[in-house]
Amino acid sequence: VAADADLDKAAALIVKGAFGLSGQACTGTSRVIAVGEVHDDLLARVVARTEALTVGPGEQPGVDLGPLASAAQRDKFLDYVRIGLDEGAVLHTGGTAVGDAGYFVRPAVFSGTHPGMRIATEEVFGPLVAFARAGSLGEAIEIANATDYGLAAAIVTENLGTAARFVRESRSGLVKVNQPTTGMAMNAPFGGYKASSTQTFKEQAGPNMMDFYLLEKTVYLTP
């Protein structure tokens, strides 16, 4: 999140990207790197939006987050919450199981993280987001790239030059500008850099998807 970002828009995009599908998305937002003075204000807005979310069965009206997929996934999420606390990160909200039945949890928001922490470098595959502070756009990009993975990344900014720099320097196969990290066009290539995918051809979508929507006509012509 750049220093010039609209923080209400940024907070909405973060919550959607981090907690949609109960955080069970390979492109889910798991880290937020805030540049300069926006960090504290942005964190407060994300925490407020997170605490306003309703957790429960998806068929009930007004529910924002359903359950995790299994008991094992719930336990993994709770383990990562404990790991984050043990590593010295600050838990601002959530990180607990909800009720005695089902695999429901309250989404967790951490701050004070850095690339040496597991919650900032490993995939939880659950509703957990980790905030980090950067002094400049360049430092933010360095932190964003400081993992073994590179599937999805996004920037929130009002400056086209800032967006263009992030797109150019991000080591990620899917880059969003002022959009959540989740969601993609099914007729566009989808694959990652580094340990995400093979870095070569894309495992989903791309040109092969376009063929599905085309009618072929074969013509034989003798001049």
Catalytically active residues, by annotation: 26
User: Are the C-beta atoms of 107 and 17 separated by less than 8 Å?
Assistant: no
Which residue reads 């880290």 in tokens?
31
Vertex 23, ends 22 and 25: CA angle to 5°?
Answer: 115
Structure tokens at 166: 């992030």
Instruction: Give the separation between CA 61 and CA 117, rounded to whole angstroms.
Output: 37
User: Are the C-beta atoms of 102 and 67 separated by less than 8 Å?
Assistant: yes
User: Are the C-beta atoms of 29 and 128 separated by less than 8 Å?
Assistant: no
Instruction: Give the separation between CA 108 and CA 57, rounded to whole angstroms.
Output: 19
Q: What is the Cα 183 distance to its own chain's centre?
A: 10
In terms of Cα–Cα distance, which of 96, 163, 129 is closest to 17? 129
H helix and E strand count, the chain: 6, 12
